[in-house]
Amino acid sequence: MKSNIMSTSIAYDTQKLLDVSAKKMGWTRSELIRRLIAIGLDLVVNNGEEIPVILKIPVNLKNKPNELRQWLYQKSDAIVGKFSEK
């Protein structure tokens, strides 16, 4: 894939967060930014009849299926409540 150089202005704190996040994922900052933009555009541009919902699952629930189920139940109940409001 051919890339064109594009510049943008990002706050210093956000740059640091990008650096830490990219390192954690084993990616470069540029690769992380490209992936984040692709995800964001997919949510906006390819929005059809669905409503995107993003969940950030706490890492402490890994390998704890019963606690994870309870956490997901609480989140799903909150989502149902939110989309059932009039």
Amino acid at 64: K
**Range with lowest mean pLDDT among 9-13, 28-32, 37-41:** 37-41
In degrees, rounded to 5, the angle at the alpha carbon of residue 41 between the alpha carbons of residues 37 and 45 is 170
Neighbours of 83 (CB within 10 A): 9
Q: Are 75 and 55 in contact (CB under 8 A)?
A: yes
Average pLDDT score over residue span 11-30: 95
Whether residue 41 is predicted with pLDDT greater than 90 in this model: the reply is no
**Confidence category of residue 47, pLDDT binned at 50, 70, 90:** low
